[in-house]
Structure 1
Amino acid sequence: MTAPGRWIQHWDPEDETFWNTTGEKVARRNLYFSVLSEHIGFSIWTLWSVLVLFMGPEYGLTPADKFLLTSMVTLVGAVVRVPYTFAVAIFGGRNWTIISAGLLLVPTVAAFAVMEPGTSFSTFLLVGLLAGIGGGNFASSMTNINAFFPLRKKGWALGLNAGGGNIGVPVIQIAALAIIGANGGPRVLLGIYIPLIVVAAVLAVLYMDNLASVKNDTGAAKDAVKEGHTWIMSFLYIGTFGSFIGYSFAFGQVLTTQFGRTPLQATYLTFIGPLIGSLIRPLGGWLADRYGGAKITLWNYVAMGAATAVLVGASMQKSLPLFVIVFVILFTLTGIGNGSTFKMIPGIFQNKALAKGLEGEAAVLYGRRLSGASMGLIGAVGALGGVGINLAFRQSFLSYGSGTGAFVAFLAYYAVCFAVTWAVYLRRPQARTITTSAATEEKKQLSYAEV
């Protein structure tokens, strides 16, 4: 089954006999080591959300400077997700995991070199931009793992893959908490991650595989760009993952700027939300597998809107306990939504295949081809939501001295996401004269409720 260089020539996870005898074991092994590399990638991507807490008055940066810095890091992480998605087809999943893990050494070593008072803001900004490549590991990992698992297992597998990666955010925050508490400096934190990156790359060399069936297909990218569902799901993913990554970057700065917490006090609180949001993402995928991703996503947006409305009040009243509790709840909801929205993607394109009249293996290949290509685009656009959140906080603090204005904007966005989810994936067709074509259209519409 495996050729030299760890290339698997035959892979058919939809065949239950193949899956039970061979496929599941191989798929799980690749999932676990893919998660490790993606996990460290997330830590390096969100590195500067932690480093700015180390940067006191002696660094000469204003709160607006710090929000701008983290916004630009988020932006690069979003943009590189597009080429990272297609790198899997060009190099192979295993090979690209090795390369992308090794590339994480560049921003980490660069940050180690410049992290001291007296360094110019432009230098910090340039080095911070390098850290953005850590955001790309998510896209390549999700595209790779999507090809390993059958449709009936994708919600769980993609949720676990993404959740294990997302948890890199709170892990680096917890590490920073321990280092700050021990009076250590930022270079201690960076020194810990440099060898971990090497370990992740070596383990990918030893234990991962490439799938020969995942071939370079520029046509898939073009088809995904033309497909309306790619952009609808991108819009919805801005609301879930954009919120998760944006809040992960901004939470500590909001606590220090609006509530006057010290870096140590802020770090005691900032890791809780991302940790729970990461751990619960597989649950969002599992719920979507069982009840339908569109249904879970819809009601999750209702809950996110309610939580954000409470945050507006907590921000206006300057109630730190209520603010922290509800922010953690909102983080939890972003994790559930991340799992449910990404579960929707394979199902949507599988339904598109059936609507085209494709059956059996042809339908599976069509769905896998378009869902894999679209995941990188959806992940990239979704991550841009993190840029918007940091820029919204920056403008809100400049204009009003607090984050209240930003939360009002987020509440409005979640309301629109609710409406889009209902209108596109759950709304029943209006009553009409029953014809063959109308009945067919209704069948297609109803099927989206189960994606």
Structure 2
Amino acid sequence: MATTFWEDTKAGGKSGASFWSSGHTPTLIAAFLYFDLAFMVWVVLGPLAPDISAALGLSPAQKGLMVAVPTLAGALLRVVNGLLVDRIGPKRSGAISQIIVIAGLFCAWMLGVTSFGGTLALGVILGFAGASFAIALPLASRWYPPEHQGKAMGLAGMGNSGTVLAALFAPTLSKLFGWNSVLGLACIPLTLVFIAYMLMAKDAPNRPAPKNIAHYFEPLKTADAWWLMAFYSVTFGGFVGLAASLPIYFTDRFALSPVTAGYCTAACVFAGSLVRPMGGALADRIGGVKALTGVFIVAALALAGVGAMTTVASALALFVIAMLALGTGNGSIFQLVPQRFSAEIGVMTGLVGMAGGVGGFYLASSLGIAKQWTGSFEPGFLIFAALTVVALGGLLLVKGKWRSSWGAAEGVRI
């Protein structure tokens, strides 16, 4: 008999069933909503950066660091959240993280942020929102069998579309009410999603038994873990680094207003977010390695070319292409992670997510430094394009071993 929307569909996911009947749909929706709103506030300093910079008199390097700190804090906290997920379960871990973010934003709104140091402190609090990655994905993933991991992780991970909301609405709200008021207004949707999350989310019954802390870092003894982390530092690092930096790029490079720059950024981020589940589904069909090969080639070419663009339209077109590739890559990598590390999915999500955050921190901060030292963003884009080529070389190096070892053992395309 078919179950209702609110009933458990399967205990941990039924292999061989269709996607929608193989897992727990309310939990998948809750994971998406939590991830979506968390990502919205994680990058909110990017769309607000032009107004904050004008109010506090920040240099290009300070602006780059301001938007990069939430990314780095989120990267480090993802490891903490990965440990919490495996110790106390993803639902409770997510509840704790959401309360911290809501309380932090409320205090920042009430007290005000009046210095560069204050923006960095706020960035650390926003890092808890970025660390939602290590909670939302295992919350959804544990309900689905191997053949549907790409789609499940892609749909939950599509919550990074929250960056679109920040780019679309934060500049306009800042213009109407002031940028500090945006921090308080963000608490409203965050609270509503927290209530929905507590009602809808449910931990899968197949959660592994807690282990000693040292055991959580066993994956780091394998080269595969480091390769997956490196690849994600490029795909997700490029995505979130651009999401945080593009409002600054468009205002500084083309003298656009913060609102118009937000619209341009939203178009780019929407493209990258939209294709994440498609990247997971594509990887399910043709294998994550093949999908990533195309991703790295397209992203490298687009990022290498964008610095030389002299019009808004041409730069925007290349950014959209780059984000489409990077978003596809994000979904493809998380088709691979559960195949190789199914028993350590919580901590591996945290470790891989941490690497992605570090990549985003590097890109966002390096663009600000490049602008201050050379007067142009182009060196920052060129270096990151080169890192993408390095990642492609690494993928070509390991793909044969992956396919002949754990890929063959799992019987799933990689």
Q: TM-score, normalised by structure 1?
A: 0.83
Aligned to 1:205: 198
Provide the rounded CA distance (Å) in 2 between the counterparts of 1:173 and 1:313: 24
* Shift, 1:376, TM fit: 1.1
The within-5 A match list for 1:322-361 is: 322-347=314-339, 349=340
Aligned to 1:409: 383
Matched, 1:450 2:399: no
Q: Aligned AA for 2:405?
A: K
Match of 1:184 among 177, 200, 203: 177
Q: Aligned AA for 2:146?
A: L
Contact 1:295 1:426 in 2 (8 A): no
Which range moved further: 418-427 or 277-286? 418-427
Q: 1:306 to 1:20 in 2, by over 3 A?
A: closer
* Shift, 1:244, TM fit: 0.3
Contact 2:44 2:170 in 1 (8 A): no
Contact 1:112 1:190 in 2 (8 A): yes
Aligned to 1:283: 278
Aligned to 2:3: none
* Shift, 1:326, TM fit: 0.6
Aligned to 1:359: none
Aligned to 1:68: 65
Report Cα offsets for 1:61-84 as digits up to 9, x if no partner: 222211111122211011000011
* Shift, 1:208, TM fit: 1.7
Aligned to 1:229: 224
* Shift, 1:259, TM fit: 2.2
Aligned to 1:253: 248
* Shift, 1:15, TM fit: 4.6
Q: Aligned AA for 1:41?
A: A
Whichever of the two has the greater Rg, that structure is 1
Aligned to 1:358: none
Aligned to 1:352: none
Contact 1:143 1:376 in 2 (8 A): no
Matched, 1:313 2:308: yes
Q: Secondary structure at the match of 1:11?
A: coil
Contact 1:78 1:135 in 2 (8 A): yes
Q: Secondary structure at the match of 2:177?
A: coil
The within-5 A match list for 1:28-427 is: 28-115=25-112, 119-163=114-158, 165-180=159-174, 183-214=176-207, 215-217=209-211, 218=213, 220-314=215-309, 318-347=310-339, 349=340, 367-426=341-400
Q: Aligned AA for 2:199?
A: L
Q: Sequence identity of aligned pairs in percent?
A: 24
Q: Secondary structure at the match of 2:206?
A: coil
RMSD over aligned CA atoms reads: 2.5
Report Cα offsets for 1:246-298 as digits up to 9, x if no partner: 00111111112222222223122111111111111000000000000010001
Q: 1:132 to 1:213 in 2, by over 3 A?
A: same
Q: Aligned AA for 1:322?
A: S
* Shift, 1:371, TM fit: 3.5
Provide the rounded CA distance (Å) in 2 between the counterparts of 1:446 and 1:160: 23
Q: TM-score, normalised by structure 2?
A: 0.90
* Shift, 1:172, TM fit: 1.6
Q: Aligned AA for 2:84?
A: A
Provide the rounded CA distance (Å) in 2 between the counterparts of 1:338 and 1:169: 15
Which range moved further: 203-212 or 235-244? 203-212
Q: Aligned AA for 1:127?
A: L
* Shift, 1:220, TM fit: 4.5
Q: 1:405 to 1:15 in 2, by over 3 A?
A: closer
Provide the rounded CA distance (Å) in 2 between the counterparts of 1:109 and 1:200: 16
Give the unaligned 5+ runs of structure 1.
1-5, 350-366, 428-440
Provide the rounded CA distance (Å) in 1 between the counterparts of 2:18 and 2:151: 17
